[in-house]
Chain A
Amino acid sequence: MFHYLTLAALLFSIGLFGVITRRNTIGILMSLELMFNAVNINFVTFNRYIMTDGLTGQIFAIFIVVVAAAEATVGLAIVLLVYRNWRGIDSDNYAVMKW
């Protein structure tokens, strides 16, 4: 169990690093997917080793996958919209949303 949790923690850190350092919005979304996967590994690991009566952890992970898919869909639509208006998808382009 220690190994799985460590793997998830390392993957989460890698995703966090990507989210902080990427300029490209698609790169940020990809790093977010890595973080979602790390969280899912944690859920499934705890379901396997700690709470084996029922599959609550796996069902929660399924919901996370669905919500992540919805997030990726809307996020990429916004990326395309930003690209159409500013000819670039760096996160600097979103500064115009500030007020």
Chain B
Amino acid sequence: MSQAADVSIVFWILSFVILVCGFLVVSLKNIFHCALCLVLCLTAVAGIYILLGAEFLAAAQVLIYVGAVSVLMIFAVMLTSNLASHKIVQTNQNTMTAFFACLVFALGAVVLIGGTKVWRYATDVLPAENVLTIGKLLMTEFMLPFEVVSVLLLAAIIGAIVLAREEGS
């Protein structure tokens, strides 16, 4: 399987959107605009999942991230209202150091990925019915993690309610 064959123009558009929006998320002054850029970035990531043949994950990404987590973020931004203005400095003193550290990390990772020539590419393709296969696997092979993660979600919901509740109510 060649590397260049499956990289379409769609991939370039999506990755451009992801990287630009990701950079805006970490660099914009207004935290509300950051949240909106995060929505766009996560939607583009869902497009990348579709390109990679993970339709269920793309749908889950849109539902959970774009639908739920981003709304949660925006709610939190609005509830902590006066902090979304331009006047507040949003970054700490580490900006230059962090920039170079992350640049070195990114360059190292790209060099490492590009230098690796021994990927053992699979010869077969993914199962055709993505959602069907995932449903079967979740109910058979991954039954225990599935139940554990639902207990974790329940604990997170109860914990969030207990934490965010007004005192004395």
Contact = CB atoms under 8 A, between A and B. Distances in A.
Interface of A: 1-7, 9-18, 20-24, 26-27, 29-31, 33-34, 37, 40-41, 44-45, 47-55, 58-59, 61-63, 65-74, 76-81, 83, 88-89, 91
Interface of B: 1, 3, 7, 11, 15, 18-19, 22-23, 25-26, 31, 34-35, 38, 41-42, 45, 48-49, 52-54, 56-57, 60-61, 64-65, 68-69, 72-73, 75-77, 79-80, 83, 88-92, 94-95, 98-99, 101-103, 105-106, 109-110, 113-114, 119-122, 124-127, 130, 133-134, 137-138, 142, 145, 149, 152-153, 155-157, 159-161, 163-164
Contact of A22 (B1, B26, B83): B26
Contacts of A14: 19, 22-23, 25-26, 102
A23 B90 contact: yes
Given A50-B122, A72-B73, A81-B164, A62 B57 contact: yes
A41 B48 contact: yes
B contact face: mostly helix, strand, loop, or mixed: helix
Contact of B160 (A24, A30, A73, A88): A73
Contacts of A34: 22, 25-26, 38, 41
B76 A76 contact: yes
Contacts of B119: 1, 49-50
B153 A70 contact: yes
B57 A44 contact: yes
B113 A9 contact: yes
Nearest to B103: A13
Contacts of B127: 54-55
A20 B69 contact: no
Nearest to B161: A77
A59 B138 contact: yes
A89 to B, nearest CB: 5
A1 B68 CA distance: 30
Contacts of B60: 62, 65
A61 B77 CA distance: 27
Given A26-B73, A27-B26, A48-B54, 14 more contacts: A5-B113, A12-B106, A13-B109, A20-B101, A31-B25, A41-B45, A52-B122, A52-B124, A65-B61, A65-B64, A69-B68, A76-B73, A80-B80, A88-B83
